[in-house]
């Protein structure tokens, strides 16, 4: 039997191909595509689309919606959404309101295979890649919710569960749909992809897209980085930084460098000086992240004094540096605390 097609996994050009394959004009695919990304997107609600086209579609395809499993609201206004996927995997997204702007942090995978030692998501391992419909679905769901209070989403960051560049094809498709004027219409300036450093894919992405790029650096010494982030063995720090430097020089691109401060591990003044030196002369913004402790992992947060000293050294060396204040801690919605309802 023919597999039914999930329409939300198709980009607009793919939807046009589908229309052509059932002898329908491309213009109908345009109409259908914009319907799919409206608050209501059932076949029976698409009143301006011909019955003939809809009945053909009905036979070969289906439309999915994300299923909310749990919504938790933090004291600071952060909202964590847990979604149950068709195969019962749970993924999470976090809405972070700040100064009248809403940032939505989304997942690219159920679980994660990267094995970063300090991250709770990595303790569950990789369950599976998300389909593009499941990546975009998180955004669609939350857009509908915030619309009811007359707000919208200002920024989307791929900083939830998983490694977007390890799910490259589906991440690209999701970006195309998120950015398509007839889809969700987000500009590339409003989207950030964060990676633990899958260097070849990072460079590939940078060639074809202007989305913001963030690198989870977290250590400035090869051995230490390999210990904290096993991916460093395959894609060493030195090459990662050389490639970022190239992007900055050739494309004038500003890269966001994320650096978690782990007490007694990577937070000394010497580490700060070394980081400042390594990043010298390339266009970057440094985001220092106070570690969100979890009882299941041994790492500790650096003290506010150490954090401030670290920041001062970077600032004195001329680096644009900010400290990312943790949000949603009371509901485990902060960075590295997403683990899909995992109970260890
Ligand atoms: N895999 C991508 C996307 C995940 S983003 C990446 O590595 O960039 C999540 C960010 O939170 C990453 O920078 C990650 O290293 C960081 N993080 C993980 N655990 C954390 C924790 N407990 N406290 C603070 N940040 C953490």
138 lies in some domain? yes
User: Are residue 142 and residue 216 in the same domain, yes or no?
Assistant: yes
CA dihedral 187, 173, 233, 320 (to 10 degrees): 0
Backbone angles phi, psi at 109, to 5 degrees: -145, 160
Q: How many domains does the chain contain in total?
A: 2
User: Are residue 229 and residue 189 in the same domain, yes or no?
Assistant: yes
The predicted-structure confidence for 107-119, as pLDDT tens digits, reads as follows 999 999 999 999 9
User: Are residue 291 and residue 158 in the same domain, yes or no?
Assistant: yes
pTM: 0.95
Q: What is the pLDDT of residue 341?
A: 59
Q: Whose CA is nearest to atom 13 of ligand 1?
A: 216
User: Are residue 9 and residue 143 in the same domain, yes or no?
Assistant: no
User: Are residue 191 and residue 45 in the same domain, yes or no?
Assistant: no
Q: What is the pLDDT of residue 342?
A: 52
User: Are residue 72 and residue 207 in the same domain, yes or no?
Assistant: yes
Catalytic residue among 119, 196, 284, 335: 335
Q: Measure the CA–CA gap between 94 and 100, rounded to whole angstroms.
A: 16
Catalytic residue among 92, 134, 163, 258: 92
Residues 6+ apart with CB under 8 A from 287: 214, 256, 257, 258, 259, 321, 322, 323, 324
Ligand 1 centroid to residue 190 C-alpha, Å: 19
User: Are residue 200 and residue 100 in the same domain, yes or no?
Assistant: yes
The predicted-structure confidence for 235-256, as pLDDT tens digits, reads as follows 999 999 999 999 999 998 999 9
Q: What is the pLDDT of residue 231?
A: 98
Atom of ligand 1 nearest to the CA of 292: 23
Final residue in a domain of this structure, among 21, 44, 62: 62
Q: Measure the CA–CA gap between 325 and 236, rounded to whole angstroms.
A: 28
The predicted-structure confidence for 65-86, as pLDDT tens digits, reads as follows 999 999 999 999 999 999 999 9
Ligand 1, pocket residues at CB < 6 Å: 114, 116, 118-119, 159, 163, 194-196, 216, 258, 260, 289, 291-292, 335-336
User: Are residue 49 and residue 156 in the same domain, yes or no?
Assistant: no
For position 27, which CATH number holds? Answer: 1.10.150.530
Residue linked to tokens 């949603």: 328
Ligand 1 centroid to residue 221 C-alpha, Å: 18
**Residue 335 annotated among the catalytic residues of the structure:** yes
* Residue numbers of the domain that contains 34: 5-62
For position 242, which CATH number holds? Answer: 3.20.20.70
Per DSSP, the three-state class of 166 is helix
Q: What is the pLDDT of residue 100?
A: 87
256 lies in some domain? yes
Which residue intervals of the chain are DSSP H helices? Answer: 12-21, 26-36, 51-60, 132-147, 168-179, 199-208, 222-228, 231-234, 237-251, 269-278, 304-316
Q: Which of 113, 260, 295 to mutate to test the pocket of ligand 1 (most atoms within 8 A of CB)?
A: 260
Q: Which of 107, 114, 117, 119 to mutate to test the pocket of ligand 1 (most atoms within 8 A of CB)?
A: 119
User: Are residue 202 and residue 224 in the same domain, yes or no?
Assistant: yes
User: Are residue 216 and residue 289 in the same domain, yes or no?
Assistant: yes
User: Are residue 122 and residue 252 in the same domain, yes or no?
Assistant: yes
The predicted-structure confidence for 277-320, as pLDDT tens digits, reads as follows 999 988 999 999 999 999 889 999 999 999 999 999 999 999 99
Ligand 1 centroid to residue 56 C-alpha, Å: 44
Residue linked to tokens 């149950």: 84
Q: Are strands 101-105 and 90-98 parallel, antiparallel or unpaired?
A: antiparallel
Q: Whose CA is nearest to atom 12 of ligand 1?
A: 216
Ligand 1 centroid to residue 101 C-alpha, Å: 22
| pLDDT lower than 50: segments of the chain | 343-344
Ligand 1 centroid to residue 94 C-alpha, Å: 13
280 lies in some domain? yes
Ligand 1 centroid to residue 12 C-alpha, Å: 32
Q: What is the pLDDT of residue 65?
A: 93
Atom of ligand 1 nearest to the CA of 112: 1
């Amino acid at each position: 039997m023919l597999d039914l097609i999930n329409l939300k996994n198709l980009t607009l050009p793919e939807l046009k191909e589908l229309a052509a394959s059932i002898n329908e004009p491309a213009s109908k695919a345009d109409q259908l595509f914009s319907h799919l990304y409206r608050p209501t997107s059932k076949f029976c609600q698409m009143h301006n689309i011909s019955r003939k086209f809809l009945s053909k579609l009905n036979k070969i395809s289906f439309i999915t919606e994300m299923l909310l499993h749990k919504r938790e609201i933090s004291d600071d206004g952060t909202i964590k959404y847990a979604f149950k996927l068709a195969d019962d995997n749970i993924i999470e997204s976090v809405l972070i309101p700040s100064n009248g702007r809403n940032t939505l942090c989304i997942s690219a995978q159920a679980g994660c295979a990267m094995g970063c030692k300090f991250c709770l998501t990595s303790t569950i391992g990789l369950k599976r890649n998300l389909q593009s419909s499941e990546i975009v679905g998180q955004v669609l769901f939350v857009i509908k919710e915030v619309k009811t209070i007359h707000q919208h989403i200002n920024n989307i960051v791929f900083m939830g569960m998983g490694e977007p560049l390890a799910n490259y094809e589906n991440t690209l498709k999701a970006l195309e749909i998120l950015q398509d004027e007839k889809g969700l219409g987000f500009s590339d300036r409003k989207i950030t992809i964060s990676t633990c450093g899958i260097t070849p894919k990072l460079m590939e992405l940078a060639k074809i897209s202007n989305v913001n790029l963030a690198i989870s650096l977290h250590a400035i010494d090869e051995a230490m980085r390999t210990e904290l982030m096993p991916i460093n063995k395959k894609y060493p720090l030195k090459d990662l930084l050389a490639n970022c430097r190239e992007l900055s020089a050739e494309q004038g691109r500003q890269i966001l460098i994320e650096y978690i401060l782990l007490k007694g591990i990577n937070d000394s003044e010497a580490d700060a000086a070394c980081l400042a030196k390594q990043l010298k002369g390339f266009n970057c913004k440094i985001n220092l992240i106070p570690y969100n402790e979890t009882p299941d992992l041994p790492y500790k947060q650096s003290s506010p004094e150490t954090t401030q000293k670290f920041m001062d050294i970077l600032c004195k060396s001329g680096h644009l540096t900010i400290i990312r204040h943790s949000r949603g801690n009371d509901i485990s919605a902060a960075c590295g605390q997403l683990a899909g309802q995992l109970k260890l």
